[in-house]
């Protein structure tokens, strides 16, 4: 279900969790396709850049050519196709300012794996061996790191598959580690704030690993922290009715339910909660932070909480200059890719592009893949220009760092409203112990500080 910044898989502002669920249930196939780059030009050939100024892959006198692989077609495309728009919008913003050190960033190769693992593998070789992309951006459930690691290609993207941890050239947005237990203190904090002691968790079974792992780890951690797991269903049916689950919550005095299901099933559960009159039952959904969903189902979503992990909420723009990164993101996305402004994977694409750009600026004339990797691994305070909590790339390949900082929003009428922060600070930071959720100061550089 989503990804805790640099540590666990949740996503997002954003419905990132659905992607994992849908991928696990999908059997459709599509043929791979290729689209043009962010500048609107066709894919470059050797004749289009006859005088490259570097022996490095993808680098010419005027451009740095980047590739992407994501699922653009097929039944799960909507959960992955936002990466490229986020990258394009960031590149377009930078290029409109003259590029970096005399070169423009170009998404020259935008490939579609059609939701098929064999196609992903094929396209990996296409980008590296044939297209000679300088760096690669990825949003696919079928991400396999082997060839990227073997070729030392700077690789960025959406950590939905859990295969990013370890190698120094893999930079998943927010950190390359998945650690579901890092979210437990955050959930404990929310439970305490809502004065909830009896907690229910509901997920799909082990075959949908992201859903199962998120809720099973949460249940175990909260129970060890002294909460009562009043109802636990770690094998819920995808597309089920959930009426019996809600009845059991009612019978066991459940005060708070954490759902690791996809948004459509969360809506079904919320309908049953309403039908059984559980008006005081607090809900935390790991999927469903989506304005279009709220517009359609506002009567069922009142009071629902969402944990946005380390991402600044879109709604933080109301604080103006306190969150200039979000102001810039929304402005530029509305300008270049307006259909994807509120897409969580687009936000990750923007972050990935920003990380590459920061290293390119620092590299100056020493623009090599090896130097980009080395520079990035010495960036200790990355926030994508103020969009996220701090990622320290000296350790974010292999471990979770604390405190864990998360932003919460709550549904009020037809709006998502930032809650639980202090003043204009949207993040709440807690340590690793779910028995002690006393908020601690945000690390230096955290947006809003």
DSSP character string of 217-244 = HHHHHHHHTT-EEEEEEEEEPTT---HH
- Looking at residue 423, the DSSP 8-state letter turns out to be T
Structural contact between residues 318 and 437, judged by C-beta atoms closer than 8 angstroms: no
**pTM of model > 0.85:** yes
Output the DSSP codes for 364-410: TT---HHHHHHHHTT---B-TTTTBS-B-TTTTTT---SSEEEEEEE
- How many CB atoms within 10 Å of residue 179? 19
Question: Which residue ranges form the domains of the chain, and what is each CATH number?
Answer: 180-307 (3.40.50.2300)
CA distances from 148 to 154, 161, 175, 429 (A): 8, 15, 17, 34
102 burial type by CB count under 10 A (0-12 exposed, 13-18 middle, 19+ buried): exposed
For β-strands 104-112 and 34-35, DSSP reports them as antiparallel
Contacts 24+ apart (CB under 8 A), 229-232: 229/199, 229/200, 229/201, 230/198, 230/199, 230/200, 230/254, 230/255, 231/200, 231/201, 231/202, 231/257, 232/200, 232/201, 232/202
Which one-letter DSSP state was computed for residue 162?
Answer: S
Tens-digit pLDDT string for the chain (449 aa): 333 333 223 433 333 333 444 444 433 333 334 443 333 333 333 334 333 456 899 999 999 999 999 999 998 898 899 999 999 999 999 999 999 999 999 999 999 999 999 999 999 999 999 999 999 999 999 999 999 999 999 999 999 888 999 999 999 999 999 889 999 999 999 999 999 999 999 999 998 888 999 999 999 999 999 999 999 999 999 999 999 999 999 999 999 999 999 999 999 999 999 999 999 999 999 999 999 899 999 999 999 999 998 999 999 999 989 999 999 999 999 999 999 999 999 999 999 999 999 999 999 999 999 999 999 999 999 999 999 999 999 999 999 999 999 999 999 999 999 999 999 999 999 999 999 999 999 999 999 98
């Amino acid at each position: 279900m989503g990804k805790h910044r640099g540590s666990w898989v949740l996503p997002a502002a954003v419905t990132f969790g659905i992607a994992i669920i849908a991928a696990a249930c999908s059997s459709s196939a599509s043929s791979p396709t290729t689209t043009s780059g962010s500048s609107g030009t066709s894919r470059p050939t050797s004749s289009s850049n006859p005088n490259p100024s570097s022996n490095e892959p993808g680098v010419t006198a005027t451009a740095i050519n980047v590739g992407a692989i994501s699922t653009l077609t097929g039944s799960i495309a909507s959960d992955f196709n936002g990466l490229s728009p986020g990258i394009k919008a960031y590149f377009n913003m930078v290029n409109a300012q003259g590029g970096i050190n005399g070169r423009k960033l170009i998404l020259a190769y935008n490939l579609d794996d059609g939701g098929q693992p064999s196609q992903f593998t094929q396209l990996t070789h296409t980008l590296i061996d044939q297209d000679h992309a300088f760096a690669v951006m990825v949003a696919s459930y079928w991400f396999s790191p082997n060839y990227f690691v073997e070729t030392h290609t700077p690789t960025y993207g959406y950590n939905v598959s859990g295969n990013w941890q370890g190698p120094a050239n893999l930079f998943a947005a927010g950190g390359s580690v998945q650690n579901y237990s890092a979210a437990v203190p955050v959930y404990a904090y929310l439970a305490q704030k809502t004065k909830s002691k009896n907690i229910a968790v509901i997920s799909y079974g082990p075959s949908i690993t992201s859903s199962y792992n998120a809720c099973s780890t949460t249940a175990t951690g909260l129970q060890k922290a002294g909460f009562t797991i009043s109802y636990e269903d770690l094998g819920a049916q995808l597309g089920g009715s959930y009426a019996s689950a809600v009845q059991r919550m009612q019978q066991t005095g459940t005060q708070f339910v954490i759902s690791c299901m996809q948004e459509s099933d969360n809506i079904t559960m919320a309908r049953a909660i309403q039908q059984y009159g559980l008006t005081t039952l607090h809900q935390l959904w790991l999927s469903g932070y989506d304005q279009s969903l709220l517009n359609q189902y506002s009567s069922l979503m009142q009071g629902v909480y969402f944990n946005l992990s380390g991402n600044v909420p879109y709604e933080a723009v109301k604080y103006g200059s306190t969150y200039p990164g979000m102001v810039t993101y929304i402005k530029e996305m509305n300008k270049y890719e307006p259909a994807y402004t509120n897409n969580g994977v687009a936000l990750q694409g923007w972050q990935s592009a920003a990380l590459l750009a920061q290293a390119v600026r620092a590299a100056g004339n020493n623009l090599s893949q090896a130097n980009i990797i080395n520079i990035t691994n010495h960036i200790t305070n990355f926030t994508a220009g103020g969009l996220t909590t701090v990622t320290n790339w000296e350790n974010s390949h292999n471990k979770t760092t604390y405190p864990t900082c998360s932003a919460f929003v709550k549904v009020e009428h037809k709006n998502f409203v930032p809650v639980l922060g202090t003043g204009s600070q949207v993040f709440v930071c807690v340590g690793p112990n779910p028995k002690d959720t006393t908020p601690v100061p945000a690390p230096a550089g955290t947006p809003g500080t």
